[in-house]
Amino acid sequence: MPDTPVLAVLGELVVDLLPVPGADAGPEGTAPQYVARPGGNALNVAVAAGRLGAPVRLMARLGTGPLAANLRRHAELSGVDGAGFVPATEPVSLAVVGVGADGSPDYGFHVLGAADWQWTDDELAGVLPERTGALHVGSISSWTAPGSEPIARLVERLHGGGETLISVDPNIRPPLAEGPVGEVLGNDRATVQGRLDRLVAMADVVKVSSEDLAWLEGPSDLDETARRWAGRGPALVLLTDGGAPLRVARPGRPLLHRQPPAVRVVDTVGAGDSLAAGLLAGLLAAGVTTRSALQALTDDELLALVDDAALVAALNCTRVGADPPTRAELDAARTGR
């Protein structure tokens, strides 16, 4: 239905090469085994929201290469509207992922000249849903030129209209935000921070991790930082810190803490993306598609949505790679708590 509010997710498509658990690297240690999995912040958020039953369109530039069809198929199998794909002549982005002893990922990126950063105003206008209830932007495409500027202009337009929730996730990837590779992409710390400052000021919802904050601001008191970020423009800031309590901050209200569910962690790839998707899907299901409606939520109503989002992220962490749960799996886990 054209009048149904849609979650539009705008960003990159990335093929993640993940190490095969238990596989060795051959007799000489030079042939590690990897499996190619669909990934990227935007694809992960869209897939997670689609599996939860939310009406969702992924706005992404689909690059060339043999794995492009797999990326599209992965989205469509999860109920994501593929009308937001823009055919591109540039290559698909690739990330080689290592997993630490604690399950945290380490990335090596191969993204120079990739399709994801080349957005134009006309392309964005052509794939934006007719009734956009919420727009989620973030990660590499939101702070990498030349596409970052058209993305910011789209956010500015929707923010000014006041009829669409704007969600931002910085999702910093330091090797692409500064250093030699970042420099080739046109990124450095000050430039990335400036682009993100512009988006955060127009956001209604910000999901930010303690790792992002460490890069953006250095060591900080997370409680104080959550409160301060809520004063920068957003109506809601959700600050994640691994398995530690979530910080939930709203301007002029007491800071809230919420402990995520304890699960056996396989890895944390896609956890933050799943959390964002769970929150946005919950907001849309509750009819919250404007800033005023978000502000009107009571603490109890908001915390119920946050708890569901945290459970979505926790269930994702029990499986290899970004593999968020379906609505049925979420309901079963909620019942079992």
Residue 142 is assigned to a structural domain of this protein: yes
Residue 292 is assigned to a structural domain of this protein: yes
Count of CB atoms situated within 10 Å of the CB of 35: 13
Q: What pLDDT is attached to residue 337?
A: 65
Residue 23 is assigned to a structural domain of this protein: no
Q: How far, in Å, CA of 47 to CA of 26, rounded?
A: 34
Instruction: Assign residue 156 the CATH number of its domain.
Output: 3.40.1190.20
Residue 74 is assigned to a structural domain of this protein: yes
Residue 156 is assigned to a structural domain of this protein: yes
pTM above 0.85, yes or no: yes
Residue 330 is assigned to a structural domain of this protein: yes
| Cβ atoms of residues 22 and 51 within 8 Å | no
From first to last of the 337 residues of the chain, give the pLDDT tens digit. Answer: 457 899 999 999 999 888 887 888 888 888 889 988 898 999 999 999 999 999 999 999 999 988 899 999 999 999 999 999 999 999 999 988 777 777 676 778 888 889 999 999 999 999 999 999 999 999 999 999 999 999 999 999 999 999 999 999 999 999 999 999 899 999 999 999 999 999 999 999 999 999 999 999 999 999 999 999 999 999 999 999 988 999 999 999 999 999 999 899 988 888 999 999 999 999 999 999 999 999 999 999 999 999 999 999 999 999 987 899 999 999 999 887 6
Residue 32 is assigned to a structural domain of this protein: no
Q: How many domains does the chain have?
A: 1
Token pair of 133 as six digits: 């209830």
Which range of residues forms the domain containing residue 246?
6-11+41-91+114-336
Which residues share a beta bridge with 64? 91
Q: How far, in Å, CA of 295 to CA of 137, rounded?
A: 20
| Cβ atoms of residues 59 and 83 within 8 Å | no
Q: What pLDDT is attached to residue 1?
A: 45
Residue 127 is assigned to a structural domain of this protein: yes
Q: What pLDDT is attached to residue 335?
A: 84
| Cβ atoms of residues 43 and 14 within 8 Å | yes
Three-state DSSP class for residue 206: strand
